[in-house]
Amino acid sequence: MKRVSMIVSGQVQGVGFRYYIQDIAEDMRITGWVRNLPDGTVEIDAEGKTDVLKTFIRTISNTRQGAIQVRNVHIQEKEVCGYSIFTIRRD
């Protein structure tokens, strides 16, 4: 298991990006959360198997779907904390 924190920039707020990420995470059995940040970026904290997380990150990094336009993904590894589901946070 591995955990990463990501800050995603581009056209990622007001376009359904958090719901898109939640769907992908659930399909890949990734746990954690996603939330909008005040500066217009989106933060994702995700846990899963290393190879699955690599695919998750690659999928997010290459997203140009409808109004969603990912331009940059900053990734930081963190200590695994044992999330049980993937949620959209509103804080």
Enumerate the active-site residues: 18, 36
Q: How would you label 22-57 residue by residue, b for 16+ Cβ within 10 Å and e otherwise?
A: bebbeebebbbbbebeeeebbebbbbbeeebbeebb
